[in-house]
Every structure is written in C-alpha cells, then in structure tokens.
Homo-oligomer: A and B are copies of this chain.
Amino acid sequence: MSTDVELCGLVARLNQRLDSHVRRVADRLGITASQAIALRELGEPMRLTALAEHMSCETSNAGYVVDRMEDQGLVERLPDPGDRRAKLLSLTEAGLRCRGNVLQALSEQAPVEALSAEERDSLVALLRRATA
C-alpha cells in the first residue's frame, strides 16, 4: 500500500470525524451540518460561487443549502451592485445570531485532542501547502 493511497484513507477518516463533530453541534442548534458550515464561512457577504468554494462543494449544492437557510430566514440574496447576474448572500439578524452560536459551539470542543498545539499548527501548515 503506497503512501499516497494511505493518505487518501487517513484524510477521509479525519474528515469523517470532523464532520460528525459538526453534525453533533448542528443537531444541538437545530440546523443541519451543511448549514453550520455555511454559517461558519459566511463571515461577510459573498456570492454563491464563493460560498461553494469555501464549503468545498459544487455550486448547485451550495444553492440547495442556501435555499433552506433562506426559508428559515437565516440568509438573504441581495442583488450584487456590480454584476446583475450575481447575488450577494448576506446573513440576517437571525443568521448572525445563529452564526455566533455555531462558532461558539465549534470552538468549545477541540476536534483533534490527540495532537498538541504545535502538531496542530504543523498539520495546518502542511494542509495549506497541499491544497494551495
């Protein structure tokens, strides 16, 4: 088994764990995991394409998630002044409150207790380079 193949499995496993973590947090807040991730990334208004990029998913998928959030009054689609094709996704009052709760809950539990702070830093650095 080559290093590369093992790497795939390890990344998938860690991703699945982090995802479970987000899922638990989201359940507690009454939203879905994807919504929690979207809220996490919506620190400032952005286009759907940009949100999809931040969420590491397809644009159509981000659209599906935003549809539900719009129904729940968490986000609005405002026209983009500079491009009539585009819309700016902007959090509502409720969305901002919900985002605060998400960030709070996500930071409460460290999802990778097994690593020291230094190891986490070097892991982040490696991942940054790997995905650059």
**Which residue numbers of A lie inside 8 Å of B, CB to CB?**
2-19, 22, 37, 40-41, 54-57, 103, 106-107, 110-112, 114-115, 117, 119-124, 126-132
Question: Chain B: which residue is nearest A107 at the CB level?
Answer: B2
Which among B5, B37, B56, B119 is the interface contact of A126 at CB below 8 angstroms?
Answer: B119
Can you report 16 residue pairs joining A to B where beta carbons are below 8 Å apart? A2-B107, A3-B120, A4-B110, A7-B120, A8-B22, A8-B111, A9-B56, A11-B14, A11-B18, A14-B130, A15-B56, A16-B57, A115-B126, A122-B126, A123-B127, A123-B130
B56 and A13 within 8 A (CB)? yes
Chain A interface main SS type? helix
Known: A7-B112, A121-B3. A131 touches B13 (CB 8 A): yes
Q: How far is the CA of A13 from the CA of B14 in the complex (A)?
A: 12
